[in-house]
Amino acid sequence: MAPLVSTSTVAEHANRDSCWIIVHNKVYDVTEFLAEHPGGSKIILKYAGKDATEAYEPIHPPDAITTNLPVEKQYVSRVFEKSRITHLFLSSIGAVDPATVAKVVKIVTEEDKRRQALLDSRPPLEEILNLHDFEVQRLSSIFLVLLINSVQAVAKKVLSEKAWAYYSSAADDEITIRENRGAYQRVWFRPRVLRDVSSVDWSTTILGQKSSLPVYISATALGKLGHADGELNLTRAAGRYGVIQMIPTLASCSFDEIVDAALPRQPLFLQLYVNRDRQITKKYVQHAEKRGVKGLFITVDAPQLGRREKDMRMKFVGDDAGAKVQEGQSDIKKNEGVARAIMPIILKGISTPEDAILALEAGCQGIVLSNHGGRQLDTARSGLENLIEVVAALKKRGPWPNPHFSVFVDGGVRRASDVLKALALGASAVGIGRGFLYSFCAYGQEGVEKAIEILRVSTGLRCDGCVFLIG
């Protein structure tokens, strides 16, 4: 039985040379982990000698420490990084002695009151007309008295400042994230007329899986920062409306929690950051295959964390944070790990025709034209702008259309007309990340369902003279 440790003893280990923290009433020595933590050492040192549970829970799955226990270790932390899944063996010092724990009275702060007032003043869902409204929407008349009739962001106002900074931040001057949206606004339709559009059908197949829309829910990290149910809001709404969710490596909910929340035979994709330890990646991918995941989207545009200054100012990650996926990889065998996966493999983060052709010739089943939501390299072009050149190169290379190779696009999609533009330019389907993220931050599962309904009832197909999609 693990020994009981007093809180005063824990408090003695509150520096870089000896760093203990409390998580879920257990004490861990994380001294050797400081240099490895993806978010930098400073955030851990902030809680050195203290209870870190409240900061730990929104960011890590509940089984992050206890999952995959090796026989030779009592506790193992499965920490998800931007570029890998890192197994770090932590010494469990013991359980906290309950006799030494001071009773904490939860104080409702002015910030808590402010956020609750904003939650109470959200517009009713029937007033949400598009995906922009989840981000920017006029609040109820009661709260307008305080805000002097200004237009405010629903998600931004109900989120904590750190959560909003993390979700909305992008690299450097945030030019790319703005241009992701602007790219769609520079594409114009040439509609056909005098056609029978009395009945239209948005349904399609994505990697062989049926979908009610040519849209999938793209992976976004740390859902519990915005809502207590985190990514489960997406899973449940996707199952109800026949849309495919991509499970993020950096989810706040555990992988198995998300899969367990899905309906029977509900298709799911998995987004993957490849670990420098290929055996860890292999184990993770094989487990996903056993659980029935239908597609593996490997992120390839994040060799290091982008410089997201909004996030840095809020100190969500330390100055020493960063994913360094390529360190120590000179001796790695490139033919191991995910290359042996059974499910379709998609490379997420392609930007050029040259890399698109390489992915095709390497035997991948598709690519995602993406700039990581503008979070990696600022002034990188949007996926939509790259789509035209990539499709031209694939047509020249042939065959095109290629039933064995899909081209997806994400970044900046907020309207069904955006989806239609991408499809018209050659995309197989599009991914929406922040749009769905903000919808559940503001309204939970009902918000996600509303977002899907908005996309489904669009007049874009009918007004453009289309009745169904080829896919």
Respond yes or no: is residue 112 known to be catalytic: no
Classified as helix, coil or strand, 347 is: strand
Alpha carbon 220 to its chain centroid, in Å, reads: 1
Quote the CA–CA distance of 383 and 177 in Å, as a whole number: 11
Quote the CA–CA distance of 162 and 66 in Å, as a whole number: 27
Locate all alpha helices (DSSP H) within 262-322, ordered by sequence.
Answer: 278-290, 309-313
Annotate 99-132 with DSSP letters as a single string: GGPPPPPPP--HHHHHHHHHHHTPPPGGG--SGG
User: Which one-letter amino acid corresponds to residue 187?
Assistant: V
Q: Are strands 268-272 and 244-247 parallel, antiparallel or unpaired?
A: parallel
- Residues 6+ positions from 238 with CB-CB distance below 8 Å: 217, 244, 245, 262, 266, 448, 452
What does each C-alpha distance from 468 to 200, 239, 372, 407, 462 come to in angstroms? 6, 22, 30, 19, 9
Classified as helix, coil or strand, 448 is: helix
Tell me 362's DSSP state.
T
Backbone angles phi, psi at 351, to 5 degrees: -130, -20
The C-alpha angle with vertex 134 and arms to 129 and 139, in degrees rounded to 5, equals 85
Write down the catalytic residue from 301, 311, 355, 378. Answer: 301
Respond yes or no: is residue 372 known to be catalytic: yes
Write down the catalytic residue from 372, 410, 443, 464. Answer: 372
Quote the CA–CA distance of 184 and 385 in Å, as a whole number: 9
Tell me 292's DSSP state.
T
Write down the catalytic residue from 28, 166, 184, 273. Answer: 273
Respond yes or no: is residue 301 known to be catalytic: yes
Q: Which residues pair with 20 in a beta bridge?
A: 29
Omega before residue 267 within 30° of 0, cis: no
Omega before residue 399 within 30° of 0, cis: yes
Q: CB–CB of 158/115 below 8 Å?
A: yes
Tell me 137's DSSP state.
B
Joined tokens for residue 245: 């969710």
User: Catalytic residue positions?
Assistant: 273, 301, 372
